[in-house]
Structure 1
Amino acid sequence: MAGRGGHVLAVDDDEDLLRLLAMRLKAWGFRVTTASSAEEALSKIAVEPPQVVVSDVRLPGKDGLALFEEVRIARPALPVILLTAHGSIPDAVQATSRGVFGYLTKPFDSRVLLDKIEQALQLSTAPAGTDDKAWCAGIVFRSTRMADLLNEARMVAASDASVLIRGESGTGKEMLARAIHLASPRARAPFVAINCGAIPEPLLESELFGHVKGAFTGADAARSGLFQAADGGTLFLDEIGDMPLALQVKLLRVLQERAVRPLGALRAEPVDVRVLSATHRDLESAMAGGQFREDLYYRLDVVTLVLPRLDERREDIPVLAAHFVHQVAGKYGKHVSGFAPEALEALATAAWPGNVRQLYNVVEQCCALTATPLIPLALAQRALRVPTMEALSYAEAKQRFERNYLVQLLKLTNGNVAEAARIADRNRTEFYRLLQKYNLMPAMFRADGEAPAGKPG
């Protein structure tokens, strides 16, 4: 049997079994890296990400499921295959539903493992025909953070996995969803988007699922819903966190049965739709408060992609501003070359609570008012003072402070979690939970990308 030459990370605390697994993988033609613990595996993933992870479930410290959860946060598109000698473990079903690529029971058949790895490699390899940038042409960036995100998005696009896009308002969640659709095998089929928070609850059900004639007062004719409109393609559910609980139940049924029953209809209609969703809300808190169904969350959150705030990708501000000037100047019939250097500096250092959407508004105002080819500093400052967003709620302000506090701690301690937890007066388990909540990886803050000796992060 011959492998595809992909890079596989094998994880097992039993040295003999790990050596045998590595030998088998190399014999199949794979490049193999090994680790004897979840902590060592995470460190190696941070330095040189593999294309597939094959891990035993039982590991010292963090087990294989905990390793999967951390990989899922840091690198959503990296497939993980778990091996266990305990085939009856109920976690298998839950882990598979949450995105574990494969779950094999020891002793496993070599052919089955090889097939699983090759299937995973197909997921982690960019699909044919997407080497060009047409699929993400509308997303302008220079930062490595956005480049990494788009690389993950392109890999995820090759599968039919549900994707949850997280990010603050104005970061471009719908644009990323559209790019995933264009990079997917469904690109020639419809892309349909709906903002679940912008439509009144009585109308949202009909919008999504359709209705038959006479289903309710005013239903003078039958009407197809957006699921039917997106058949064969992609349905993007924006602000999914604002969906009423009653509709969450019906959405879950559609996702489970792959069929839609319009309002007033006696029978369901089969649909073939990939669902992408997005939210700026903390869904974990919403679930804890009974405002969002946990079973629906796990259906939607097979893969998570997180769009950074604009102030987390400041190197993109100059290229975004130039792009928006090119877009907007013609609208006002003006020849605008761009921003004067000091004006561009003001944009690059400003606070951006409204993210990319706010930057677009600032550029548009500057283009509308400028009398010179180069937009001057005074005009940029005037536009930046225009209120573009309501004051943060207490919960949002608390979350922003908490995240910034964690970032500063990790910078101060060079990514040493034990030291950071000590300074914060929190135990390591609780501190790790906070890091996961905000998608922060200690390795991001280490100068050499490796855990300090004797103190695994």
Structure 2
Amino acid sequence: MSTTKQAHILLVDDDPNLLKLLGIRLKSEGFVITTALSGQEALKILNKESIDLVISDLKMDEMDGLDLFVEVQKSYSGLPVIILTAHGSIPDAVLATQQGVFGFLTKPVDKDALYKAIENALAQSFGNKANGDEWDENFITKSPIMLQVIEQAKMVALSEVSILINGASGTGKEVLAKAIHQASHRKNKPFIAINCGALPEQLLESELFGHTKGSFTGAVANRDGLFKAADGGTLFLDEIGDMPFSLQVKLLRVIQERKVRPLGANSDIDIDVRIISATHRNLIEAMEKNEFREDLYYRLNVVNLKLPTLNERSEDVPLLANLLLKKIAAKNKPSVKSFSPEALKKLASAKWPGNIRQLVNVIEQCVAITNATVINDTLIDKALQQESNSFTTLTEAKNQFEATYLKKILHMTKGNVTQAARLSDRNRTELYKLFAKHDLDPQDFK
């Protein structure tokens, strides 16, 4: 039988022998199979695994197949469910189909009928994605906050308005920007991203707008900028809040006139680019401090999307952790298969100042240092401790660098502030302020 991809099927039956037999049969067809002996166990698996289809027995203790279907639809609307029963009856079948169950088959199940039902269910499930829903396939979530952001993003994707994404570092701002591009009319054109805080001003200006040969030292040839390269598509300006103030004026002109002039050029170039920008900063506060232009802010912030931190969507941690483990282990150490229940509890209850990026680092560390097939809570504790020791905010990192640099230069000059000022290209007054900030006394280095 053919399917659009290797599907992951969850089998649910309180008879372990029938569960094993059906699992073996479907594995031989190339499906990935996970099994559960009860409806409650199935719901726990759905919280952790990415499942494409559920096949459940009808008659089970505590929660029968129809009750399970109702619970599945509450949290995973659209996930197809096929019901099997040894006590098939017309009323059961009618009730099941009225409630939305995809298929209803009587045991002993005819092999061809089962495979046809599976193929049809998966064709519908994957067909939805083929018709345009794949734009959000990188979002693994059951968080109401995150689902609302995704819904808002889908609504504005087909428009041409500029979008500003707010969110802390590591929350997935670029992932959301790419998804919006993929859901837009521009999806077959370039998506180009640049971090506006990662380059010096002149280099950033050249990267964005391009330059002509000889326009500055090192410009040995003409070069198109990223606006030109993204023509027809989307330009993602990450950390727009860190863009130098003087460049903000030039960016505003490009947005208003839809023209760009390369450095050193005498004429403009027409461009057709949608701009999505992102920042971790509070731009309202930046405007009040005259660090960000108000007119540019309103040009960029036509629609605002705010990504939650990982702590604000903690219910997603087990889902994300299991997905990341599969990807990381497959690339680095396929023998690592899963987390222990205690390890997942540790991950779910941990604080994540570095958000999803930090979660990735923790799982990469665990995979690297384990020889077991299951990652336990002790490994999670160790990785979290290393992360908490190594992870710092940008402000903390800058302060650490400043303190280290000042100590080094004071050692080199034996506490001579005049020489230290000359070496650091700073005046004495500024250096004394920095010494006070870091509680350093030049006399201690003489």
TMscore range, shorter length: 0.5 to 0.7
- For residues 57-96 of structure 1, what are the structure 2 equivalents within 5 Å? none
In structure 2, the partner of 1:338 is 338
1:12-36 CA deviation, whole Å, 9 max, x = no partner?
xxxxxxxxxxxxxxxxxxxxxxxxx
Equivalent residues of 2:132, 2:183 under 8 A apart? no
Displacement of 1:148 after TM fit?
1.2
What secondary structure does 2:164 align onto?
strand
Q: Please give the alpha-carbon distance, in whole angstroms, between the structure 1 residues aligned to 2:146 and 2:390.
A: 24
Counterpart secondary structure, 1:295: helix
The residue that corresponds to 1:265 in the other structure is 265
Could you say which residue in structure 2 is the equivalent of 1:378?
A: 378
Corresponding residue of 1:210: 210
1:273-352 paired onto structure 2 within 5 Å = 273-352=273-352
Q: Distance in 2 between matches of 1:389 and 1:181?
A: 31
Cα distance change on mapping 1:313 and 1:258 into 2, 3 Å = same
- Of 307-316 and 136-145, the range deviating more from structure 2: 136-145
Whichever residue aligns with residue 204 of structure 2, its letter is: L
Aligned-residue offset at 1:388? 4.3
- Rounded Cα–Cα distance in structure 2 between residues aligned with 1:131 and 1:188: 15
The answer to whether the Cα contact below 8 Å between 1:358 and 1:388 also exists between their aligned partners in 2 is no
State how far apart, in whole Å, the 2-side matches of 1:129 and 1:260 are: 37
1:210-269 Cα distance to aligned partner (Å, 9 max, x none): 001111111110000000000000000000000001100000000000000000000000
Match of 1:142 in 2: 142
Distance 1:359 1:335 in 2: 20
Tell me the SS of whatever aligns to 2:224.
coil
**CA deviation vs aligned residue, 1:116-175 (integer Å, no higher than 9, x gap):** xxxxxxxxxxxx988643112122212122111111101110100000000000100000
Q: Which amino acid aligns with 1:329?
A: A
1-structure distance, mates of 2:393, 2:152: 33
Q: State which drifts further: 341-350 or 324-333.
A: 324-333
1:224 paired with 2:224, answer yes
Residue identity matched to 1:371:
N
**1:168 and 2:144 equivalent?**
no
Distance (whole Å) between structure 1 residues aligned to residue 153 and residue 130 of structure 2: 12
Partner amino acid, structure 1, of 2:319:
V
- Alpha-carbon offset, residue 312 of structure 1: 0.3
Q: Which amino acid aligns with 1:133?
A: D
SS at match of 1:264: coil
**Letter matched to residue 207 of structure 1:** E
Contact kept in structure 2, 1:191 and 1:230, CA below 8 Å: yes
CA deviation profile, 1:21-77 (whole Å, cap 9, x unmatched): xxxxxxxxxxxxxxxxxxxxxxxxxxxxxxxxxxxxxxxxxxxxxxxxxxxxxxxxx
Task: Report the counterpart of residue 391 of structure 2 in structure 1.
Answer: 389
CA apart distance, 1:336: 1.8
- CA distance change for structure 1 residues 129 and 381 in 2, over 3 Å: closer, same or farther? closer
* Aligned equivalent of 1:249: 249
- CA offset digits 1:66-104 (Å, max 9, x no partner): xxxxxxxxxxxxxxxxxxxxxxxxxxxxxxxxxxxxxxx
Percent of residue pairs bearing the same amino acid type: 57
Are the aligned partners of 2:362 and 2:383 in contact in 1 as well (CA < 8 Å)? yes
* Residues 189 and 217 (structure 1), Cα distance of their counterparts in 2 relative to 1, 3 Å cut: same
Q: Partners of 2:142 and 2:205 in 1: how far apart?
A: 40
Asked whether the equivalents of residues 365 and 383 of structure 2 are also in contact (C-alpha less than 8 Å), the reply is yes
Per-residue Cα deviation, 1:367-391 (whole angstroms, up to 9, x for no partner): 1111111101100110111134215
User: Post-superposition shift, 1:335?
Assistant: 1.9
TM-score, normalised on structure 1? 0.57
Whole-angstrom distance in 2 between the partners of 1:199 and 1:302:
26
Mapped partners of 1:202, 1:307: distance in 2: 31
Q: Which amino acid aligns with 1:377?
A: D
Rounded to whole Å, the distance in 2 between the matches of 1:305 and 1:380 is 32
8 Å Cα contact 1:163-1:300 kept in structure 2: yes
Deviation at 1:331? 2.2
| Larger RCO (alpha carbons 8 Å, 6+ apart) | 1
Asked if 2 retains the 8 angstrom alpha-carbon contact of 1:287 and 1:294, the reply is yes
CA contact (8 A) 1:190 1:230 kept: yes
**Counterpart of 1:362 in structure 2: which amino acid?**
V
Local SS of the residue matching 1:275? strand
Q: Is the 8 A contact 2:333 2:367 kept in 1?
A: no
Deviations 1:274-332 (A, max 9, x none): 00000000101110000000000000000000000000001110110011111100222
Change (3 A) 1:392 1:269: closer
For residue 360 of structure 1, what is the amino acid of its counterpart?
A: V
C-alpha distance in structure 2 between counterparts of 1:266 and 1:202, whole Å: 18
Query: What does residue 199 of structure 1 align with?
Result: 199
Partner of residue 31, structure 1: none
For 2:160 and 2:332, locate their aligned partners in 1 and report how far apart those are by CA, in whole Å: 42
Residues 1:280 and 1:377: Cα distance change in structure 2 (over 3 Å): same
AA matched with 2:169: S
**Could you tell me how far apart the structure 2 residues matched to 1:388 and 1:302 are?**
37
Give TM-score, length-normalised by structure 2: 0.58
Check whether the contact 1:213–1:219 (CA below 8 A) recurs between aligned residues: yes
One-letter amino acid of the structure 2 residue matched with residue 389 of structure 1: F
1:322 is aligned with what amino acid? N
Task: Return the alpha-carbon distance in structure 1 between the equivalents of residues 348 and 384 of structure 2.
Answer: 11
Query: What SS does structure 2 have at the residue aligned with 1:215?
Result: coil
> Matched residue of 2:148: which SS?
helix
Distance 2:267 2:132 in 1: 43
Change in 2 beyond 3 A, CA 1:185/1:129? farther
Distance in 1 (CA, whole Å) between partners of 2:244 and 2:261 is 18
Larger Rg, first or second structure (1 or 2):
2
Higher helix share: 2
What amino acid is the match of 2:349?
T
Q: Distance in 2 between matches of 1:341 and 1:323?
A: 15
2:133 maps to amino acid: K
Q: Unaligned stretches of 5+ in structure 1?
A: 1-127, 395-457
Number of corresponding residues: 267
State the distance in 1 between where 2:234 and 2:363 align. 32
Report 1:348-359 matches (<5 A): 348-359=348-359
Bigger drift between 178-187 and 143-152 goes to 143-152
Give the deviation of 1:348 after TM superposition: 0.1
* Structure 2: segments with no counterpart, 5+ residues: 1-127, 397-446
